[in-house]
Amino acid sequence: MARRRKIYEGKAKVLFEGPEPGTIVQYFKDDATAFNNQKKGTISGKGVLNNRISEFLMTRLTEIGIPTHFIRALNMREQLVRQVEIIPIEVVVRNVAAGSMSKRLGIPEGTPLPRSIVEYYYKNDELGDPMVSEEHITAFGWASTQDIDDMVHLTLRVNDYLSGLFLGVGLKLIDFKLEFGRVWEDEEMRIVLADEISPDNCRLWDVKTNQKLDKDRFRQDLGGVQEAYQEVARRLGVLPVEV
């Protein structure tokens, strides 16, 4: 096979130069990290499952008119995506209190929020992805007010759609993180959904039992991590091989 140029290696994915200009190959690894790299491990088969789950969710979102970087699946661990200029902001939406919000504000995990809450974090490993406000984002030039409006609008649509989609398979979408990128299209700059959507960056609880079926099983040493990711894939009907 032809050697490909590695562009970037992150915690859970590797990006390679794509076959055509403006494309990237996104390779999903089994590596898992948590608490800003303080906890490291491997979840066997995670890359395959996240590749499938993210492909499925990005495709459904494209169908409802959400622009994404996803082009097509290439194989079990790789997908072809559009090259974008990543906006260094992680957009988190929360429907139910959990994780850092519960810790920071003392709201018990599992408390439904009066409305969906959007938060921004500055993507910076050295600083541990600190939470920032719209003021910081615009003042430091990480994104414009228009970019933020576009990202929030898209994020709320994604939340609406995915909350319903997951509920249909007996899962509650507690919260999730999205990343966006800029692309030039028809002489205009557009914002598209990038990165991945998977149990690595969503909290998903079983509707009946509140069992956690996401990366919190790894973060909190709950065991059954691989099985949880498989269960999400199974419910979405995208389990690569019936297990």
Q: How far from 230 is each of 52, 67, 145, CA to CA, in Å?
A: 11, 27, 39
- For residue 15, CA distances in Å to 29, 80, 81, 83, 94 come to 11, 10, 10, 10, 28
Smallest separation (angstroms) from ligand C5P to the CB of 125? 9
Least spacing, CB of residue 17 vs ligand C5P, in Å: 25
Comparing CB distances to ligand C5P, the nearer of 23 and 100 is 100
Q: How far is the CB of 90 from ligand C5P (least distance, A)?
A: 6
Q: Looking at beta carbons only, is 23 or 211 nearer to ligand C5P?
A: 211
Query: Please, which residue, 18 or 179, has the CB nearer to ligand C5P?
Result: 179
Residue 125 sits at φ, ψ, to 5 deg, of -60, -45
Burial class (CB in 10 A: 0-12, 13-18, 19+), 37: exposed
Q: Which residues bind ligand C5P (CB under 6 A)?
A: 90, 92, 98-101, 129, 175-177, 201-203, 215
Distance separating alpha carbons of residues 111 and 96, to the nearest angstrom: 6
Q: Measured from the CB of residue 99, what is the shortest distance to ligand C5P in angstroms? A: 2
Q: By C-beta, is 9 or 185 nearer to ligand C5P? A: 9
Under DSSP, the state recorded for 77 is S
Q: Which residue is nearest to ligand C5P (CB)?
A: 99
